[in-house]
């Protein structure tokens, strides 16, 4: 069995003038949770719909489990659980009937496992789907994706509308899938979720993949918020001159800044000039790391596409 679950080469999709996806080269490894992160309109849905052969790429190609996403899409479907961004369900069917419908399409299902999934997600399968809130409807969509224990779970912003407790359980379920050697492709615009659940993260913006990192590597970029207090007033230029320092704010005897370098280098420079009274540092969350990427990389993308 291949250790690459999803592979894309130069995958590109234009809608007229809109370059929704540009030259995506990506390998998602078997047994990982891959977070596909980007703001609204970044190209996440376009990528997933192309992989699912719902839309044809303008250029490039892709494979899932070694099979071509276009010519072998029928075979691929047997191994995929899919949560689209806009799952269509019959409003007059109950959740149970809906799942029966999907189960019949796939030649049966382990109903004991369906009950377990419903319990874990706190889903009410007795109500008509049309009478459910969007979050509760989403749970039915998640169960239909998980219930056949697929090799690959392809999910487009699956947590939308779920309350925090259910989100946590859902995250645990995704980790279990990966622990079993199955693969999760999770599109999301929620950093905290991806931070908790993903092994690696691809960041997409304006159709371009602008970063591809392990979650731990992303964190080890270790941007820190640093607050320093001094015995006398300080000048921003002293801090700004240290490589890795950014966003310096000075308030009389105090400096607050972001820093992604060796702490010793920063401390030596400032201690040569001022008497340090107190230091407080805090690891930046992924949000800040993400914004930093966006600020720098978005400029590059703008220059390339200008
Ligand atoms: P969201 O979280 O809002 O769904 P996304 O990252 O999934 O965002 P896409 O839906 O893939 O983004 O959209 C990427 C770009 O392609 C956007 O600019 C969008 O307006 C455009 N787009 C998507 N579908 C079409 C279409 N059928 N026709 C024209 N433009 C489209």
CA of 127 to the centre of ligand 1 (A): 32
How does residue 306 score in pLDDT terms, banded at 50, 70 and 90?
very low
Tokens of 117: 């999934």
Atom of ligand 1 nearest to the CA of 45: 7
Query: What length does the chain have?
Result: 306
Dihedrals phi, psi of 267, to nearest 5 degrees: -65, -40
- Mean pLDDT of the 202-215 span: 89
Q: Which DSSP symbol is given to 73?
A: H
% of the chain surpassing 70 pLDDT = 90
Q: What is the mean pLDDT of residues 254-279?
A: 91
Paired tokens of 270: 């400032």
| Best residue for ligand 1 mutational test, from 45, 50, 159 (most atoms within 8 Å of Cβ) | 45
Q: Is the pLDDT of residue 233 over 50?
A: yes
Tell me the average pLDDT across 178-188.
97
CB atoms within 10 A of CB 201: 25
Q: What are the Cα distances from residue 196, in Å, to 143, 189, 213, 296?
A: 21, 13, 14, 25
Residue 298 has a pLDDT of: 54
pLDDT at 299 exceeding the cut of 60: no
Residue that wins the pLDDT comparison between 156 and 292: 156
Give 21 Cα–ligand 1 centroid separation in angstroms.
9
Computed over every residue of the chain, the mean pLDDT equals 90
Does the pLDDT value for residue 160 go beyond 70? yes
Ligand 1 pocket by C-beta < 6 Å: which residues? 15, 18, 20, 38, 40-46, 85
Identify the three-state secondary structure at position 201.
strand
Task: Say if residue 294 is exposed, middle or buried (CB neighbours under 10 Å; 0-12, 13-18, 19+).
Answer: middle
Domains and CATH numbers, the chain: 4-217 (3.40.50.300), 223-283 (3.30.70.100)
| Range of lowest pLDDT (8-12, 31-35, 92-96, 293-297) | 293-297
Of 1 and 251, the one with more pLDDT: 251
- Nearest protein CA to atom 31 of ligand 1, as residue: 15
**Looking at 175-240, which runs of residues are DSSP E strands?**
183-188, 200-205, 208-214, 224-230
Tally the C-alpha atoms within 13 A of residue 293's C-alpha that lie toward its C-beta: 24
Query: Is the per-residue pLDDT at 220 higher than 90?
Result: no
Q: How far apart are CA 108 and CA 116, in angstroms?
A: 16
Pairwise CA distance, residues 163 & 49, whole Å: 26
Residue 294 has pLDDT above 70, yes or no: no
Distance from residue 154's CA to the centre of ligand 1 (Å): 17
**Chain segment 16-60, per-residue pLDDT in tens:** 999 999 999 999 999 999 999 988 888 999 999 999 999 999 999
Mutate to test the pocket of ligand 1, among 15, 39, 188, 301 (most ligand atoms within 8 A of CB): 15
Could you give the CA distance from residue 27 to residue 4 in angstroms, rounded to a whole number? 6
The tokens describing 234, both together, are 């300080």
Q: Model-level pTM? A: 0.81
End-to-end CA distance of the chain: 42
Segment 260-276 mean pLDDT: 89
């Amino acid at each position: 069995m291949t250790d690459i679950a999803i592979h894309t080469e130069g995958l590109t999709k234009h809608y007229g003038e809109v370059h929704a996806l540009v030259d995506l080269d990506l390998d998602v490894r078997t047994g990982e949770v891959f977070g596909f992160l980007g703001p609204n309109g970044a190209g996440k849905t376009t990528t997933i719909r192309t992989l699912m052969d719902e839309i044809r790429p303008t250029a490039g190609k892709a494979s899932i489990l070694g099979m071509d996403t276009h010519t072998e899409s029928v075979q691929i479907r047997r191994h995929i659980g899919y949560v689209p961004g806009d799952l269509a369900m019959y409003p007059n069917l109950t959740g149970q009937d809906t799942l029966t419908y999907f189960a019949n399409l796939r030649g049966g299902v382990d109903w004991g496992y369906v009950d377990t999934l419903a319990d874990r997600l706190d889903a009410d399968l007795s109500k008509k789907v049309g009478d459910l809130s969007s979050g509760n409807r989403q749970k039915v969509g998640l169960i239909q994706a998980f219930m056949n224990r697929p090799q690959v779970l392809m999910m487009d912003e699956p947590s939308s509308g779920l309350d925090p407790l259910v989100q946590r359980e859902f995250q645990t379920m995704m980790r279990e899938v990966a622990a079993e050697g199955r693969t999760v492709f999770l599109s999301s615009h929620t950093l905290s979720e991806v931070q908790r659940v993903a092994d690696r993260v691809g960041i997409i913006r304006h159709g371009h993949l602008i970063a591809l990192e392990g979650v731990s590597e992303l964190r080890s970029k270790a941007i820190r918020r640093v607050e320093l207090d001094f015995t006398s007033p300080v000048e921003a230029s002293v801090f700004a001159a240290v490589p890795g320092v950014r966003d310096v704010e000075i308030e009389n005897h105090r400096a607050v800044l972001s820093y992604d370098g060796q702490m010793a280098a920063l401390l030596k420079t400032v201690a040569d000039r001022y008497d340090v009274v107190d230091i407080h540092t805090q690891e930046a969350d992924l949000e800040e790391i993400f914004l930093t990427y966006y600020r720098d990389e978005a400029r590059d993308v703008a220059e390339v596409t200008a």
